[in-house]
Amino acid sequence: MGKYIKGDVNLSMLYLKEIPEILNGIDIDGSLILSGNGLTTLNNFPELVTENIDLVRNPLISLKGIKQNFITTLKVGGKFPDFEGCPPNVTRLTCVGNIRLTSLKHMPTNISEIKIMAGSLKSLEHLTQNQRCTYTLMDCRIKSLVGLPNRCRALNVAFNDFEDFTGAPEIVDGTFNCGHNPIVSLKGFPKQADIVVIHNFMNDYQTYIKYAKKTIDELEQLADIKKTLKGKKLAEKLNASVIVTGEVLGQRPMSQMRKSMELEESMSGLSGKILRPLSALKLDETAYEKEGIVDRSKLLGIEGRQRQIQMKMASPSQPVVHGLYQCKVSE
């Protein structure tokens, strides 16, 4: 009988450059956690792992070396171009932060959950086709949805680069998130979905729109993708010289990320013309600051989900010492 470990093995965040040789040939009856190290290869990989493998936040150049095939959940990150070496029986696959991922070749065929976040996919060719699968393909630079199955359990393709829905499933049984894409047409939009999340700053879609399996015809009545922001229209109507929002960078993971803020400006024709005083010091200068209309030194640099600073500012017992409300706007 070979060497055997009962229980999970956690070697995360140890700055390992390679898997310890002591694990070579070991059977692990549990999970193996090697996240947050400096692994580039999988030499010395255990002979057997019965549960999950976590390899995220490693600069892996290949998945070759995983010897066993009992695991069902695999989490990886790195610099590998495709999934060669991925065990064929994996049913839940997560790949995070691999901007070198350009192909879905060698992806296991029996997958029920796919999560790929941050990649450089040229296409969805070789994507596993499974009507009971949940697909998350976020921030992958996808320019087309061709390659998806005609039906799936749920689909998240937010933060990509496609302009219409050609290739999208006809039916999404759960949530369909297609937010933060440069949509110019609803061509190919699913005929049926439980919940649709469409958040594009080039139009007046709401962030979360619930549909009880509504059709594309009903969607067309609810959205006009050629409309610009209501705020822009109001500013023009009032002849306002400055457009200000209370957004905080990173406070809301979908709508207040840097990329979505940039998209908001470009799609509304307001590039460099939306002032966010609470996070201004973390963002590029606006036209108002460059022209001297607003004093940048009086603005804040809040970032993240915490709200301690805002609560302190709003407290009547804590007067605002910072010059946020002292921004001078020229006549």
Residue 258 φ/ψ, nearest 5 degrees: -55, -45
pLDDT digits (tens, 9 = 90+) for 289-302: 898 888 898 898 88
What is the distance between the alpha carbons of residues 71 and 288, in angstroms, rounded to a whole number? 56
Listed residue (104, 97, 53) closest to 79, CA to CA: 97
pLDDT at 320 over 60: no
Which strands sit side by side in the sheet containing 48-49, from one edge to the other? Answer: 4-6, 27-29, 48-49
Give the chain's mean pLDDT: 80
What is the distance between the alpha carbons of residues 304 and 169, in angstroms, rounded to a whole number? 35
% of the chain surpassing 90 pLDDT: 40
pLDDT at 226 over 80: no
Please give the structure tokens belonging to residue 56: 């995220």
Residue 215 pLDDT? 40
Contact between 323 and 298 under an 8 Å Cβ cutoff? The reply is yes
Residue 311 pLDDT? 79
**Coil vs helix vs strand at 204:** coil
- Cα-Cα-Cα-Cα dihedral of 119, 125, 126, 128, to 10°? 80
pLDDT at 35 over 90: yes
**8-state DSSP, 56:** E
Average pLDDT of span 169-189: 86
Q: With bands split at pLDDT 50, 70 and 90, how would you rate the model's confidence at 58?
A: very high
Amino acid at 24: N
pLDDT digits (tens, 9 = 90+) for 39-55: 999 999 998 898 899 99
pLDDT at 329 over 60: no
